[in-house]
Amino acid sequence: MTEDPRQAGPQPPFSTPAQQPPGLESKMSPLPDFGEQSYVGSGKLQGKAALITGGDSGIGRAVAIAFAREGADVLISYLAEEEEDAQVTRQWIERAGRRCVAVPGDICEEAHCRSLVDRAFDTFGRLDVLVNNAAFQMSHKSLDEISPEEFDRTFRTNVYANFFLCRAAAARMKPGASIISTTSINADKPNATLVAYASTKGAIQNMSGGMAQLLAEKGIRVNCVAPGPFWTPLIPSTMPPEQVKEFGKQTPMKRPGQPAELQAVYVLLASDQASYISGATIPVTGGVPFI
């Protein structure tokens, strides 16, 4: 039976407790849907190996579960504070019969980014898919509230790490490999309270477009996914309670997306079925136009 998309996930108001960044999935209410019970693979990524930053929870966990069920081994990168969530993701990957390497650390540092790529090649002997998904954001109502240190951290996490990882991975990836970066609807429609974060998402989209052209000669595809409001630990840990309570209500669907609702897009872009898709941004926004 076809499901009404308006009813495919919980609708606000939400009563989830506020958290300190980076936030944990286990403390959210309602819990996000990562596709643990619903995603069924069909071998689209059989024999491939993937590196996913921010793979402990949120969109990263959903992508990791889908990739594993499609036949890929997965390395997940995350902050040490997210160890609890990361181990849950590891369990789901291993239940799918695939190998998982869970590596804590800060991707703001170039050396750590290089070590992640090296670890993937050392463990799996290859790297077919890089998913730049980890992100940092904070919400502010005044520019005076954004410190230079926070602005720098936002760009180093979201943009610099993306560049560091792409450069290290592209140097060793084989033709047919895929790089996928999580941008945002904020790249096209910046939220006034997310000035630093929105700026990084625009930069990611632009940088990916340039890389798609540069790396085509190596047979490497580069694309972006642009989510709208999605229900992840980033929300209750970085936004004020009044925004969290009504999160997603502004969309035509009147609700936030669930991480599981992004799985098919990342799998497509990672698979050989997307062989002529490069330089693209695929919006998943609950009906909000992305131009």
Which amino acids are annotated catalytic? 197
Instruction: Give the up-direction half-sphere exposure of residue 275: CA atoms within 13 A in the CB hemisphere.
Output: 5
Strand partners, 226: 283
DSSP for 128-168, written as a single string = -EEEE--------SSGGGS-HHHHHHHHIIIIIHHHHHHHH
Residues 6+ apart with CB under 8 A from 103: 75, 76, 77, 78, 115, 116, 119
Q: With contact defined as beta carbons under 8 Å apart, do 232 and 57 qualify?
A: yes
Structure tokens at 70: 């499609």
In terms of C-beta density within 10 A (0-12 exposed, 13-18 middle, 19 or more buried), how is residue 3 classed?
exposed
Q: With contact defined as beta carbons under 8 Å apart, do 227 and 182 qualify?
A: yes
